Amino acid sequence: MIAALLLGREGSVGFPGKNTHLVLGRPLMAYPLLAALHAQAVDEIYVSTDSERIKQLAREHGTTIIERPPELATKTALGEDAFAHGFRYIRDTLKKPVELMVLLFCNAPTVLADTIDEGVEILRRDPRLDSVVTVSPYNMWSPLRARKLGDDGCLQPFVPLETFGDPATLNCDRDSQGDVYFADMGVSIVRPQCLEQLPHGLLPQRWMGRRIAPLKQWGGCDVDFKWQVPMVEYWLRAHGFSDTQTPYPTAPRRRTTCSTA
C-alpha cells in the first residue's frame, strides 16, 4: 500500500489559521489533498491533526483522520516526529502494510498529482534511493549570500566563505556557485525505513533518509507568513488552478472513505 499522510496543527505563530486560509477560494490544505486524491499511485490518505477545522475539511475530502497527540502539536514539535507517529499508527495500529509514504503538509500547496506519481515511479525503479522530494532552485538565497549578526552587531558570513572554495573565485552573481536547490516541502515520498530510522537521516529533514532524489520544479514553498500567499497563488494559477477550476478531473481517480483512526 502507498499511503499519503498530511500534517497540520492548530497553532501557528507567524500566520494564524494558515492551513485553512483561503487561496483561490479553497483552503490552503485543499491543494495537497487534491494532489493525493488524484494521484494514481496513492491508495489511502490520512490526515494527522489536532485541529477541529482541519478534521472537518479532511472528512469532507473523504480521508482518514489520525489524532495528533498534544506533545506533537506544540510550536516546538518537529514534523519528523509527527510523520513517524502517523506512520507507526498506520503500520502497527491499523495493521496496514506500507510500501511507500507520501508525506505532505497542509501549508504546502505547491504539489500536483502527476508529481506524486512521478516520484513513486522513480523509487520503484531505483531501490537504492531512500526518498524523492520536490525541490525548487533559489539561487538568490544561496548560502554564499547568507549573513548573521556578529558580536559587534555587524553582518558576517553565515558560514565561512572558504566552504565554497577559494574566496578569490567568488562574486556577487547569484548564479556563480551553480544552482541552489531547496526542499520546498511540496511532497516527500519516502521508504518506511526512513521513518523507522530517523536518527540516520540527513539533517535538517531527517525523514528523507540519506539518498534523496529530486523532483525539480519552480516556486515551491510551504507557507509560514501571509506575504507568501501571492507567491503560491501565482504558482497555482500557472499550474491550471483558478477560483472555479482545477487541472484535475471532476471526480478523483480513487474512491475515498471517511473515518477516524
Neighbours of 83 (CB within 10 A): 26
Q: Which domains does the chain have, with CATH numbers?
A: 2-135+183-260 (3.90.550.10), 139-179 (no CATH)
pLDDT value of residue 168: 86
The Cα–Cα gap between 149 and 35 comes to 41
Q: Is the dihedral of CA 25, 29, 35, 41 positive or negative?
A: negative
pLDDT tens sequence across 107-141: 999 999 999 999 999 999 999 999 999 999 999 99
| pLDDT score of 259 more than 80 | no
Nearest to 38 by CA among 252, 240, 187: 252
pLDDT value of residue 195: 98
| pLDDT score of 252 more than 80 | no
pLDDT tens sequence across 155-198: 999 999 998 888 888 898 988 888 999 999 999 999 999 999 99
Average pLDDT of span 85-94: 95
The whole-chain average pLDDT of the chain stands at 95
The residue assigned the cell 500536483 is 112
Neighbours of 51 (CB within 10 A): 21
- Quickly state the pLDDT bin for 255 (edges 50, 70, 90): very low
Which pTM value belongs to this model? 0.95
The Cα–Cα gap between 159 and 171 comes to 16
The Cα–Cα gap between 93 and 87 comes to 10
202-222 b/e with 16+ CB inside 10 Å = b? eeebbbbbeebbebebebbbb
User: Could you give the C-alpha distances from 2 to 29, 99, 204, 238, 245, in angstroms and in order?
Assistant: 20, 6, 24, 28, 27
Indicate the DSSP class of residue 69.
P
Beta bridge partners of residue 196, listed in sequence order: none
pLDDT value of residue 66: 98
pLDDT value of residue 254: 55
pLDDT value of residue 112: 99
pLDDT tens sequence across 32-52: 999 999 999 999 999 999 999
